[in-house]
Amino acid sequence: MIVADDHAGLVKARETLGIGAGALSGAGTLALVPTMGALHEGHRSLVRLARERADQVAVSIFVNPLQFGPAEDFSRYPRTFEADLEICRAEGVGIVFAPSAEEMYPPGRQVGVSAGAMGSIVEGEFRPGHLDGVLTVVLKLFNLVRPDVAVFGQKDAQQLAMIRRMVADLNVPVTVVGAPTVREPDGLALSSRNRYLSPRDRQVALALSRALTEGSAEHAATRVRRAARAVLDAEPSLALDYLVLVDPATFTEVGDDHAGEAILAVAARVGSTRLIDNVTLTLG
């Protein structure tokens, strides 16, 4: 496993591993799993899927300051670099790209990626600028690592939809793959932020997955929303940001007569920790 912290290191790593310009060159292909570190079983599942899609896997570890708001948890976001390297080594990762903020954002930086209208709704409404920061760092990682495939978790469903939109709109030569959400045995979606939860908070947080389960048992939009909301309303310790039933591609709310795929998504604060979750379902 090669650890690189700058572009020159990435170029050397690609050469060492025999990674060419992609499948059309006949050389080795590369899949990228972008992360902010604090790796867990969900990240392992992304790496395993990436290994099925390419000859080599690169994992980036970078806590991206652009996607955190002024009052968010950038400074206390868990950083477990040595443990992350052990996980990458155990999962057969070929390259770990761990750049500094100075490497990713040179002084005087002015140009970034705008998430557009889709970046201002649902998650974007509660975290202004967040999706701009996500798209900017992902595009930079694509340019630096030059993967053939990139794997992202479905738990961040709006992020995944926006990355697919960016790749299509900007003609980025990367195949984007979504991976299913990995859950704890009790249903809680795996997240690096789960470690912030006290035992009491964790019990409260289970209302999110319960709400999604109850909602997905229904087949009409009004009933889906009603069933999920009833679970959340029954947990007074939960501070709800949103519960939405949206189109998977645009993240706009679907109508009561919608038939076909939709995403039921929720975000809430449990104590000082903000959690998100979602499930894809078929209506009609």
Residue tagged active-site, from 43, 130, 219, 258: 43
The dihedral of CA 9, 12, 13, 19: what is its sign? positive
Sequence ranges of the binding site? 36-43, 67, 153-156, 159, 182, 190-193
Asked if 128 and 120 touch (Cβ cutoff 8 Å), the reply is: yes
* HSE-up (13 A, CA, CB side) for residue 92: 13
* HSE-up (13 A, CA, CB side) for residue 164: 17
Asked if 104 and 137 touch (Cβ cutoff 8 Å), the reply is: yes
Long-range pairs of 239-248 with CB within 8 A, sequence gap ≥ 24: 239/268, 239/269, 239/270, 240/266, 240/267, 240/268, 241/126, 241/267, 241/268, 241/269, 241/274, 242/122, 242/125, 242/126, 242/266, 242/267, 243/211, 244/122, 245/215, 245/221, 246/122, 248/157, 248/161, 248/280
Query: Is-catalytic flag, 7?
Result: no
211 closest CA partner among 223, 194, 229: 229
Q: DSSP character for 24?
A: G
Q: What are phi and psi of 103, to 5 degrees?
A: -70, -40
Q: Report the catalytic residues.
A: 43
